[in-house]
Structure 1
């Protein structure tokens, strides 16, 4: 049985990865991710940093006019790790569904 990815498995990081994986290309800005996940600024920032250190996301900081804008993009390694994590979850579900109920 495949192992779950402990970095991705945390609920907020799973939401971030799922949101980014839904895009075929490009990334999401911090404000959009915050809205999608319901996270606070500090909490979201900390989890993005964890994903970035793992090489799962790239973080781009720029200015739009005079406002800072942070964009988070799923890396190829992150996309592959997310696919493995989802496959592990599906394997667990399939295994549970295939076993006869215990008496």
Structure 2
């Protein structure tokens, strides 16, 4: 998936849970390259199903991409990462 040309517009269109997961994912250490639904739930204080939905929403928005797992896998087995370094930086600026 390609990162959106306008991450501000993509971010502005996100539902609350997805926006929260996006901002919190940017706080993870740089060496954490992938995120799954359980991790997203833990950092966002969301139940795992809502965190999994947030990750899917972020993927559809082009802000994250799925790196592991298949559609048949349980949500906690799917890995996600930012689509580009500039998207992670954008997410970090939203935490301020």
Residues 80 and 54 (structure 1 numbering): CA distance in 2 closer, same or farther, change over 3 Å? farther
Q: What TM-score results when the alignment is normalised by the length of structure 1?
A: 0.55
1:17 lines up with 2:22 in the alignment = yes
Number of aligned residue pairs: 81
Question: Counting helix residues as a fraction of each chain, which structure ranks higher?
Answer: 1
Over the aligned positions, Cα root-mean-square deviation in angstroms equals: 3.1
Q: Which runs of 4+ in 1 moved over 6 A?
A: none
- Aligned residues of 2:34 and 2:67 also touching (Cα < 8 A): no
Between Structure 1 and Structure 2, which shows a larger proportion of strand residues? 1
CA deviation string 1:38-82 (max 9, x = no partner) = 21232222221111011100123339xxx8622221121632543
Larger Rg: 1
TM-score, structure 2 normalization: 0.58
Partner of 2:56: 49
Cα deviation code 1:8-61 (max 9, x no counterpart) = 5x4422331223223325022221111121212322222211110111001233
Gapped regions of structure 2 (runs ≥ 5):
1-7
SS of the equivalent of 1:28 reads: coil
